[in-house]
Amino acid sequence: MISTYGHLILLNGTSSSGKSTILNEFKKLHPDYVAFKVDDWFTTTTVQMATERGWHSDMQVHPWQYLRDYVNKETARSNFDIEVREHLFTGIRSYYYIMQDVLRQGKNVILDTVLEYDREYINFDACFQEFNCTKVLVYCPVDVVLERIKIRNSSGIPDEQRCAFQLFEPFSAIYKLQEDEDEPIVDMFSRDSLRQTLHIAIQQLVAAGISESYVQRLREFERAFIATFKLDTQTQVKLVARHPYDLIINSSHASPAVLALQIKKFIHQES
């Protein structure tokens, strides 16, 4: 690592886990950090990709829905959002290259993202292996996330709308069951609470009138999720991070300002 390079903070976690609010609070403490939010890149790239595939602003369809329909036709099946992104959004490295340039100028960077599948973890590590990076996992219990999503969706702001199922799509890429006692536990709760919140998220989609083929895929996802986290055989879930992190914070335990201060203290201890 080159000492003249800037420092990188990764904030990773599920949608609505609190990353963006924590980032905003951290910026108040450290205005020297340049903020990058993958949601910004995703919004711009969605319009660009949809336009390249025939979408235009006069159409009465959101560009993301246009891309979803495009991938569904191309793959001849109903795809989850995460599958659409994995199928089309392969150019994240171009966004990372911009961050690299900023870091090489000696400026510090904080990134708000959701690493949703294994290839994204590989891409991230490959792009930033030469830089000093502090990886922070922002965790929030699923029932608290569902309540946050309900509040966001009642705001009436289009960009704030979230689907509860978004919480579960990348869940198994971020978390796993504890296999070794040396693995630090992120959270511990009853299997029924996790199973119930997953069922609620799926039922919300079913109630929205989705296609029967999509309902079938949701049921398959539910069965696979239950098997992965052993919700049929274990009464208690001991959740750990699937990938290594320098710091794990629970956004339901403290305010965003307090958590931002915790990150600040941690990185100063590291340096």
**Residue 128 phi/psi, 5° resolution?**
-120, 20
Report the CATH architecture of 7-270.
3-Layer(aba) Sandwich (3.40)
Residues 211 and 44: their CA atoms lie apart, in Å, by 28
**Confidence band for 146, pLDDT divided at 50, 70 and 90:** confident
Nearest Cα residue to 264 out of 33, 103, 102, 100:
33
Specify which residues 187 forms β-bridges with.
239
Nearest Cα residue to 22 out of 139, 164, 100:
139
Interval 18-26 mean pLDDT: 96
**What are the residue ranges spanned by the domains of the chain?**
7-270
Please identify which residue in the block is written with the tokens 């609070």.
Answer: 25
pLDDT tens-digit series, residues 213-224: 999 999 999 999
Pairing of strands 175-177, 236-241: antiparallel
The structure tokens listed for 229 are 């986290």
Residues 232 and 223: their CA atoms lie apart, in Å, by 10
pLDDT tens-digit series, residues 149-159: 887 777 776 66
Mean pLDDT for the chain overall: 92
pLDDT tens-digit series, residues 60-95: 999 999 999 999 999 999 999 999 999 999 889 999
The structure tokens listed for 116 are 């949703």
Interval 188-200 mean pLDDT: 92
Residues 40 and 36: their CA atoms lie apart, in Å, by 8
| pLDDT value at 102 more than 90 | yes
| pLDDT value at 240 more than 80 | yes
